[in-house]
Structures are given as structure tokens and as C-alpha cells.
Structure 1
């Protein structure tokens, strides 16, 4: 089986084609008795062909080609120059105008869109103008102007690839105002452009829309699909970081049935990547105060950390930190925290360790807390009044205990912000 040609070859072919066309235009020496007939010059690729070349390269990025990722910048530089050199007549074709819009939305220089707007009605139709104005506003960060220009355009009425790209932009403009509509547009992108960078981007974004709108079943389904098909994407590392953050919105103490589905999703990853994501999610769950989630995630990370001391230590830290808010487990948790090898922890985890130990000491001395030694030595007794009703002392003790646990969780949430503030450079 022949190996596929390197994607960077598209750059070479385009350059050669342009060079051959230029040589073909050079006049033949009139003094020669027998001038050789010139080779027929291949046409210089037009805007549509150029954008197709760019998208083919970007589709390779979606499946993890580092060569395509490195070559993309060089191709964009070539296309930037070629787009600006086209004669105005070429832009009277609506397909070429849409190619220019697609080029800019794919990372190209927005200067070409400014040029088209300057040429005005001599090249742009009334149907094309909103596309050009909206795309330019979008890449310049003018979201309201972009939404106003693009919202009325139906991506279903456009060619599949361009319609998918426009829908991707529309979904980004709507995600805060109308998450349901944004989610619908991302569904459309995935159906229109399977196997492309557009689908990879749509799937990556849709996972977090589902998380934010608490569609947990869809979140797990989409995340599993992404990890199965695009785990080698150049953007997969960022996806995993955001996935860990999204997972903290799920409190497995309230939705324990979801945990098995989450584990099945994680099994799509290699063991090392799975372990790292469990650790990220466990740490983030502690910061959110989801102590049951943190313990479950830390246990899974520990199972995958037998040969990695640093990861095993982190798993032990997160598990113990999640247990200090429970009177039944605080004693053992403190012992574990005090035995942890500090030399293998990063500064942020050292800060968490110190905070957890200090917090455990405060929890033990809070009003209403039973000293750990006493709680282990004898069972607690509820006082009963003469009319066989629990006394107010017992009710007060229970309320104070719940308040203490709440304060402890709130303090845990502030740990990460404290670390971030200490690590931030002065303004």
C-alpha cells in the first residue's frame, strides 16, 4: 500500500504551479530560429482550491498530524499573499467571496475582507455583504456586530462545508445567550462535516455546552466520542484540561449512578492519560467542595499510579484532603496527610497539603465537634427530656456540626484561589 503524501506537499505543489505559470508568460526569444513550444501552463489555483488545500491540512491537524500543524503557518502565509494579489474581477464570483470568508475564519489574514468591503458593490452582492461584514467583526472580536450580521443567514442553505463553518461561528456567538440553540447548531456541524477539523471543534465545544446545561448523559456520550476519535488532536490537551474542569460540575454524591458511565468514558484513554485526568478532576473536585467525587476520583487515580510515586502521592493527598470534613474519617485523614512525602509534591499541592492539615486542626476545635479520641472510645448519647423528645442540646450540636462542615467546604474552595493569587506576577 502506498503511503499518503505528506500534507506539506500541498504547499510545494501550489508554489510550483504558480512558478510554472509565471514562466509560461515570459516571451520567447525572437532571435532564435526555432523556438521551443512552451509547456502548457497549469492555471494558478483560485480561492476555492486554495481554501480546500488549507482545510485538508487542518483536517490532518484534527487527527494529530504535527507535520500539518507545523506546515499550516507557512501555507497561511502563502495564501495571505495570493488572496491579496487577485484582481477585483475574481471577487465577482460569489463562490470566491465565500472562499475568502472561509479562509479568514480558518486563520487567514482578515485584510482580504477589508479589501472586499472597500471594493463594495462592484464585487459584493447584497447577499454576500453580511457574510463579509459578520466574519470580519467575528475575527476582530466584535461579537454584537458579528451576531447582528450573521444571525439571519441560514447555514442549511449553504454548501455543506461552508455551512458547517458558519454554524460553528454562530454557535460560539450564541452559547452564552441561548445554549440550547448553540447546541443545535453544533449538532448540525457534526452532521455536515464528519471527520474534519470543523467536527472536531464542534464536538470539543459541545461537550462543555452539555456540561453547562446539565445534560450529563449527552456530556458523557460526546466526551466518549471525542476521546475515541480525536484523542490525538493537537487540541486534545486543552480538551482534557477543560474536561477535568467540567467534571467538577458533577457531584457524584448526588449522582452516583453517573460514575460508572464516567469510568467507561475514561477507559477510552491510555492509562497514563487516564491517571492524569483523574488527578486533575480529583483536585478540582476538592476545590469545589465535592468531597465524595474527589475521593472516588482519587481512588481511581491511585489504581493507575502504582509505578509512579509522584502520582501516587498526589492521589493520596487528594483522597485524604477530601476526608477531613467528616468526623468519622478526619483522624485517619490527618495521619495520612502528615505521613505524605512532601519532596515529590509541586508547590500548589504543598500549599493544599498545608491548608488541609491546618483546616483539620480548626475543624477539630470548632464548637459542636466531638474530639476524635472520645468519639472512638465511646458512642455518642442523645439526651432525652422528660417528655421523651430530644433535648435542644442535641439539636444544637447537630446544627453546629453541619455548619462546621459547610465552613470547611467553603475554605477548601478558597484554597485554589489563594494559590493562584500567590503565583500571579505583580501588575
Structure 2
């Protein structure tokens, strides 16, 4: 597979240079047909999500080469519907949106479907919500076409915020018509997220199991791990434990340990003490390879879970003993929050206690956003592998969000602690009357 991939890349490299194009034979020029170049790009992108991360740079190169070819193409090239599809697939695969605009603006022969190009241009400009009505009418006409899976993936993305259930149906069609591809990987990963949002655990576990079977080596797998953790924390217990274990069985020990650590962290923040301790114990039990970091983190999350309990003194001492170097900035912020909560819990109540405890927030580093999932547990070495970020396909792009000014999980932890303190003060004041 890798040998064939290198052969494709070398062919493109040779043919894409101005000198080579000028001296190419007729059959070499034919090899530069946009639809043939797109086939190579699809092969490379599918190889990336199937675990060949060395193909990421090839993907970047080919996007650039295809962009040049499309802009230099004679309008007559697009009389072939395959080349029209190639231009659309390029735009939906992380290509330059301006190239699609250029091609559609110069399309005097009507080779491009304006309904599709207009919808894609709006979507790529961040106006996905505006395309749902028009694209939902046009997409069925392309259901069996080469661009069909891409259109349904984009339609799912555009619909996801307003109607998660409908979006999952669009994702289902996209992935079922493009198995083993970057389209299926993106559709499955997004479907797990939407199942959590729609409180549909059965669907969520089904999608997660399918993803775990096929795409754990994808560079996007860390995003899947995060949404799977949300699903597991929300529905851990009863029959769900068996389904979670089934999914984890497709992971090696480091990945299982990473998932349990993330579950322990989320559970501790959510106040689910029993789950946090159970997940911490399982993560520690998977540390047979002698790695010290997972054991430290497992103890840390177990300590966080014990802060609101009767073991508050022991828990505070335990988490305070962990060196800063062993924790990520996010976990150091959580430790500071836990200390503040613990100090306020054991302090004798007074009328000004809440003001003194929470007059100002402790200075802390700004939390990383979703691009740093690998540091979620503080290990900095996530086995789900996102060390090198690939080119994000436009068909899998979501609306950009502004960077957070702080860690919302930290703030939530403090807010819950404040609520507990108010309850304690109210009880004590009531007893004093």
C-alpha cells in the first residue's frame, strides 16, 4: 500500500512541475485530468484515517497540486461530469474555497449545478445554517453520485445544531455509501457526539463500537475518545458497563488506561465519586508496563473525588503532595480549585466566609482548547495519536468557537463547591438558633 502511495506521489510530483508539463506526452497530460488526481487524493486521505500518518504531508502537497490544475484547466475540461465532481470533492476535502468560487463564476456553459456550488460556498464561509433547506432538496438527486457521501456529510454538519436526530440520519447515509473512507470516519465520530447531545445512548454505543473496530489509529481518534468518555460518564452503570467494556476490548492497554483516566477526571468534576474512584482503580490496574504517570494521575483523580466526602483532609493532603511537573495546566487548575473548595469546607462558617473564600480567582494558565485533547489527562502522551494534525477536510469542519478565557471545568468545580458550602453554612446557622 505504501509503495503504491509513493508511486502515485512521485508521478504527481513529476507531472505537476511546469517543465514536466511542457514536455509531457499526450498520455501524461491525460493523467493530469482532475478526476484522476482526486482519486489519488481520496486514496491518500483514506490512508491517513486508517493509520498511515506519514501520508499527511502527501495530502497537503496533493491539495496544492490539484488547486493549480483546476485553476489552469480549460473550461472545456468541465464538460466531463467527472471533472465537475472532482472540483466539488476538492472543495469538500480541505481545498481552497476561492477555487470553487473561481470555477463557478467562470462557468458560462452551465456545467456546475448552481444549487450545489452556492450551498458549498455558503457552508465554507461559515454559514452552514443557511444551506439546510436548499441542500436538503438537492442532495437526494446526487444520492448515488460520486459527490453524494460528501454532500450528506455536509448536510449532517449543517443540521447538527438544530436537529441532531436528523443529522445522524444524514451521517448514516454518508458512511454507508462510503465505507472505509475519511467520510465514514468523520460521520461515525460526529454521530457519537450527536448521540450524546440527543441522549440516545443505544445509538451512541453502536456508533462508538463501529468506530473502535475501524479507526482507532486515525489522527482524529483523540476527538472520538473525548466524546466516548462523555457517553460513558453519562451512562456508566447497568447494561451499559458491558457495552463500554466491549468497546474498550478493541483498544490496547495504553488506550484503555487513557480512557479510564479521562472518565475519572470527568466523573470527579461531575461529582460522581463512585465512578471516579472505580475508573481511577481500573486505570491504575492497567499500569502493568511500569509507567509512573498513569498511577499518579489515577491517585490524583481519586483524591479529587474524595474532596466533598468525609475524607476531605486526607484527600487534600494527597493531591497537594503531587508535584506540579506531574500535572498538565488544566489539572493544576483543578487542584487549585479543589484546594479552595476543601479549605472553605473545613473553615468555620461566618457571614463573610463566602466573600473571603471566593473574592478573587486564583491565577491559572489559560486552558487549551479542543486541539489539545492529548493533554486532557495531563500525560501529554495520548496513545490516540494527534501529535501531527492533518489537513481537516472541509466536509468535517464545524463552526469555529472563540477561545475560552479560562477552564470551564475549573469554574464548574468551584461553583459546585460553593453550593456545598452554602448548604453547610445554612445547616450550621439553623442549628445555632
Q: What TM-score range do you get, normalising by the shorter chain?
A: 0.7 to 0.9
Instruction: Give me the whole-angstrom Cα distance separating, in 1, the residues matched to 2:320 and 2:188.
Output: 43
Q: Which residue of 1 aligns with 2:63?
A: 76
Of residues 152, 156, 162, the one that matches 1:171 is 156
Instruction: Give me the whole-angstrom Cα distance separating, in 2, the residues matched to 1:17 and 1:338.
Output: 62
Instruction: Give me the whole-angstrom Cα distance separating, in 1, the residues matched to 2:107 and 2:329.
Output: 57
Secondary structure in structure 2 of the residue aligned to 1:12 = helix
Deviation per CA, 1:231-255: give whole Å up to 9, x if none: 111212333244334544x054xx4
RMSD: 3.3
Contact conserved, 2:175 with 2:184, CA < 8 A, in 1?
Answer: yes
Deviation per CA, 1:22-60: give whole Å up to 9, x if none: 4367xxxxxxxxxxxxx8666243222221111111110
**Ranges in structure 2 where 5+ consecutive residues have no aligned partner:** 369-402, 407-433
Contact conserved, 2:329 with 2:367, CA < 8 A, in 1?
Answer: no
Instruction: Give me the whole-angstrom Cα distance separating, in 2, the residues matched to 1:95 and 1:149.
Output: 23
Contact conserved, 2:85 with 2:146, CA < 8 A, in 1?
Answer: no
Alignment partner of 1:115 is 2:97:
no
Alignment partner of 1:237 is 2:235:
no
Secondary structure in structure 1 of the residue aligned to 2:131 = helix
Q: Which residue of 2 aligns with 1:10?
A: 8
Instruction: Give me the whole-angstrom Cα distance separating, in 1, the residues matched to 2:181 and 2:92.
Output: 15
Deviation per CA, 1:121-142: give whole Å up to 9, x if none: 42336xx111111112212212
Q: Which residue of 1 aligns with 2:393?
A: none
Q: Which residue of 1 aligns with 2:47?
A: 60
Point out the more displaced range, 287-296 or 61-70.
287-296
Structure 1 residues 174, 347: CA separation in 2 closer, same or farther (over 3 Å shift)?
closer
Contact conserved, 2:78 with 2:84, CA < 8 A, in 1?
Answer: yes
Q: Which residue of 1 aligns with 2:240?
A: 258
Of residues 311, 331, 334, the one that matches 1:352 is 334
Alignment partner of 1:188 is 2:170:
no
Secondary structure in structure 2 of the residue aligned to 1:224 = helix
Instruction: Give me the whole-angstrom Cα distance separating, in 2, the residues matched to 1:293 and 1:418.
Output: 30
Contact conserved, 2:175 with 2:183, CA < 8 A, in 1?
Answer: yes
Of residues 139, 142, 146, the one that matches 2:127 is 142
Structure 1 residues 223, 366: CA separation in 2 closer, same or farther (over 3 Å shift)?
farther
For these two proteins, the number of residue pairs brought into alignment is 361
Structure 1 residues 341, 81: CA separation in 2 closer, same or farther (over 3 Å shift)?
closer
When normalised by structure 1's length, the TM-score is: 0.74
Instruction: Give me the whole-angstrom Cα distance separating, in 2, the residues matched to 1:61 and 1:343.
Output: 33
Alignment partner of 1:199 is 2:197:
no
Q: Which residue of 1 aligns with 2:261?
A: 279
Structure 1 residues 20, 425: CA separation in 2 closer, same or farther (over 3 Å shift)?
closer
Displacement of 1:358? 4.1
When normalised by structure 2's length, the TM-score is: 0.73
Q: Which residue of 1 aligns with 2:305?
A: 322
Of residues 89, 92, 96, the one that matches 2:79 is 92
Structure 1 residues 325, 256: CA separation in 2 closer, same or farther (over 3 Å shift)?
farther
Contact conserved, 1:251 with 1:290, CA < 8 A, in 2?
Answer: no
Q: Which residue of 2 aligns with 1:23?
A: 23
Secondary structure in structure 2 of the residue aligned to 1:153 = helix
Instruction: Give me the whole-angstrom Cα distance separating, in 2, the residues matched to 1:163 and 1:40.
Output: 30
Instruction: Give me the whole-angstrom Cα distance separating, in 2, the residues matched to 1:259 and 1:188.
Output: 29
Structure 1 residues 426, 245: CA separation in 2 closer, same or farther (over 3 Å shift)?
closer
Displacement of 1:419? 4.8
Bigger CA radius of gyration: 1
Structure 1 residues 308, 9: CA separation in 2 closer, same or farther (over 3 Å shift)?
same
Structure 1 residues 355, 295: CA separation in 2 closer, same or farther (over 3 Å shift)?
same
Displacement of 1:354? 4.2
Point out the more displaced range, 256-265 or 94-103.
256-265
Deviation per CA, 1:212-261: give whole Å up to 9, x if none: 1111122122212212211111212333244334544x054xx4442332
